[in-house]
């Protein structure tokens, strides 16, 4: 609101300037107002000097991350802030509380559908382009893989337990999990993981290191997994089969 008034003032100074006022005086006023605009643009410093303030900020972080994860990243932050202020200040709500839930549900449903459609399309485009790359193989299920290092050991069956090293990424390169970064290999049953891994492991030998490109239907599907793997996500893994136990 205040920023809007300052901008209006600059416009009015230029529009209604009188003959008796020098150009230098006008320029000085405009510069002063522009300086005020720049000051208003700067983020307000938040006072985190006590536990209540820190907890309040922490609540804001959790709340914001939660709604972004659920597809609410296009929500208007000023409207959210206004609603929070109205509730805390016990003001008359601009939208009745009973009407809020249907509004939010409708918005979130549309947001999720939009995000899911985009994720499916992005994954399809990625896989379609990726399969043209040299060395990439495609199985009947749609799993794509590329052999990085050739091993010579045993090949596991669906009932075996294996030790592996891995790094998992989204197609934009974001790492969501990595035993390599933790510095500790992991053990699990071949049939206890996502379908893409179960299929790939039964084609690998001990000592193999492969790049896996896994369509969403062979990964975490339409639900995703936690906050890091969104619904309909195509995943990329570097997977090393260390040992068949």
Q: Which of 126, 145, 213, 220 is catalytic?
A: 220
Active site residue 194: yes
Q: Which of 174, 164, 192 is nearest to 229 (CA)?
A: 174
Task: Estimate the crossing angle of helix 23-41 against helix 2-15, to 10 degrees.
Answer: 170
Give, in order, the Cα–Cα distances in Å from 129 to each of 144, 155, 216.
11, 30, 16
- The closest of 208, 200, 160, 166 to 183, measured between CA atoms, is 166
Tell me whether residue 177 is one of the annotated catalytic residues.
yes
Instruction: Determine whether 107 is an active site residue.
Output: no
| Active-site annotation holds for 166 | yes
- Asked about 176 being catalytic, the answer comes back as yes
Full DSSP string of 34-95: HHHHHHHHSPPPP---SHHHHHHHHHHHHHHHHHHHTT-TTS-HHHHHHHHHHHHTTPPPSS
CA distances from 150 to 12, 208, 212 (A): 74, 5, 15
Beta bridge partners of 138: 144
Which of 177, 208, 213, 229 is flagged as catalytic?
177
Instruction: Point out the catalytic residue in the list 126, 145, 166, 213.
Output: 166
Active-site annotation holder among 126, 145, 194, 242 = 194
Q: Which of 126, 145, 216, 237 is catalytic?
A: 237
Point out the residues that are catalytic.
166, 176-177, 194, 220, 237
């Amino acid at each position: 609101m205040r920023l809007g008034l300052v901008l209006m003032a600059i416009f009015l100074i230029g529009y209604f300037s009188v003959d008796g006022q020098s150009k230098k005086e006008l320029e000085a006023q405009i510069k002063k107002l522009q300086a005020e605009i720049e000051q208003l643009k700067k983020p307000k410093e938040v006072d985190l000097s006590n536990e209540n303030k820190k907890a309040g900020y922490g609540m804001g972080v959790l709340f914001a991350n939660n709604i972004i994860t659920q597809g609410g990243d296009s929500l208007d932050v000023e409207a959210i802030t206004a609603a929070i202020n109205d509730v805390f200040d016990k003001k008359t709500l601009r939208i009745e509380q009973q009407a809020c839930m249907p509004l939010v549900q409708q918005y979130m449903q549309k947001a999720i559908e939009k995000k899911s459609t985009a994720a499916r399309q992005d994954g399809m485009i990625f896989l379609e382009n990726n399969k043209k790359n040299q060395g990439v193989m495609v199985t009947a299920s749609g799993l794509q893989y590329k052999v990085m290092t050739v091993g010579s050991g045993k090949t596991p069956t669906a009932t075996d337990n294996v030790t592996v090293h891995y790094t998992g990424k989204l197609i934009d390169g974001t790492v969501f999990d990595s035993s390599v970064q933790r510095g500790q290999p992991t053990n699990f049953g071949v049939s206890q993981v996502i379908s893409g891994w179960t299929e790939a492991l039964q084609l690998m030998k001990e000592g193999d290191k492969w790049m896996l490109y896994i369509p969403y239907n062979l990964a975490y599907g339409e639900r995703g997994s936690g906050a890091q793997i969104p619904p309909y996500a195509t995943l990329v893994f570097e997977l090393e089969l260390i040992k068949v136990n």
